[in-house]
Amino acid sequence: MVLGLLGAGTLGIVTGTRAQNAATSLLAPIELRDPTGLTSLLPLGDTFRFYSVTGSVPFRDAATYRLAIGGLVDHPTTLTLADLRALPQTELVRDFQCVTGWRVPQVHWSGVRLSTILDRAGVRPTGRALRLTSFDGTYTESLTLEEARLPDVLVALKMLGSDVTHDHGGPVRLYVAPMYGYKSVKWLSGIEVTDTVIPGYWEHRGYDVDGFVGQSNGRKFDERT
C-alpha cells in the first residue's frame, strides 16, 4: 500500500541507516529521492529521510575530500578530512527537523564549530554572510555570519554515532542545530564569505532565508496541505 501511495516509482526515499519497520524495508530498495519532501506524509516514524536534489552524488573519502574556505577572508584555505579531524571537536545531542514536518529527536552529532573554521580563515570586516556549496554540484545555502558563529553550528564529521555516511552527506556535512534541516548542507565542499546574503537552493524556491525552527516556514506548508 505504501508503494501505491508513491505512485509508479516517481517519488521515494531511502530511510535511515537502520531500516526497522515494514514501510522502510519496502521502500529501501527503491533508491529514489524526495526533493519535495512529500514522503513526510507517509507514516514512517522518527527516522531520517535521505534527501538529495540531485540524482547521484560523487563519493569523497579521506583521500579525496576537500573543503574550500574563501571569499572575504585573510587566509583562503583548503582543508582535508585529516585537517578537520585535527581541530577541536564539539559534540551535540539535538533534534533534527525538516521544514516539511518530520523530526528525529536527540540525534548525536560531532564536528568542528563553524566559528572555529571562520576564525582561522580570518573573516574580513566587510564579510556579512556565508555562501555554502555542496559537491553534489547543485545545492547551496546561506547563513549570516552571526548565525554561522552560533556555538551549535557544526561542520559535522559524525552523526548518529559514526562517520557521516554518504547518503547523509558524508564525509562532511553542515549541522545547523537551531534551524530547519535545509540549512544543514550535505556533501559540504565550500564556504565563501560574502558581503550580502545570497539565497540558497530552496530559498530560491520559497523557503525562508531565516531558517530558525519555529520562526519561519510553518504557514507555507499548512497552506499546502
Ligand X SMILES: Nc1nc2c(c(=O)[nH]1)N[C@H]1C(S)=C(S)[C@@H](COP(=O)(O)O)O[C@H]1N2
Residues of this chain that interact with ligand X (CB under 6 A) are 48-53, 98, 134, 136, 139, 168-169, 181-182, 184-187
Nearer to ligand X, 127 or 203 (CB): 203
98 contacts Mo ion (rule: CB under 5 A):
yes
Is residue 92 within 8 Å of residue 177, measured between CB atoms? yes
200 binds Mo ion (CB under 5 A): no
Q: How far is the CB of 187 from Mo ion (least distance, A)?
A: 15
For position 11 contacting Mo ion by CB under 5 A, the verdict is no
Q: Which is nearer to ligand X, 120 or 166 (CB)?
A: 166
Q: If contact means CB under 5 to 8 A according to the sort of partner, which of ligand X, Mo ion, none does residue 52 touch?
A: ligand X
Q: How far is CA 63 from the centre of its chain?
A: 22
The burial of 146, by beta-carbon neighbours within 10 Å (0-12 exposed, 13-18 middle, 19 or more buried), is given as exposed
Q: State whether residue 175 is helix, strand or coil.
A: strand
Q: Mind giving me the DSSP string for 166-177? A: TTTTTT-EEEET
- Residue 215 DSSP one-character state: T
Q: What is the DSSP string of 90-120?
A: EEEEEEEE-TTS-EEEEEEEEEEEHHHHHHH
Of residues 173 through 192, those in contact with Mo ion by CB under 5 A are 181-182
In 3D space, the residue among 87, 44, 46, 94 whose CA is nearest the CA of residue 69 turns out to be 87
> Of 107 and 123, which has the nearer Cβ to Mo ion?
107
- Residue in the block written with cell 555542496: 134
Contact between 211 and Mo ion (CB under 5 A)?
no
- Residue 57 Cβ, how far from ligand X at the closest point, in Å? 7
Half-sphere exposure for 38 (CA within 13 Å, toward CB) = 13
What does 90 interact with, of ligand X, Mo ion, none (CB < 5 to 8 A by kind)? Answer: none
Cβ proximity to Mo ion, 37 vs 111, nearer residue: 37
Q: Is 41 helix (H, G, I), strand (E, B) or coil?
A: helix
CB of residue 206 to Mo ion, shortest distance in Å: 12
State the minimum distance, in angstroms, from the CB of residue 128 to Mo ion: 25
* Residues at the site binding Mo ion, with contacts judged by CB under 5 A: 98, 181-182
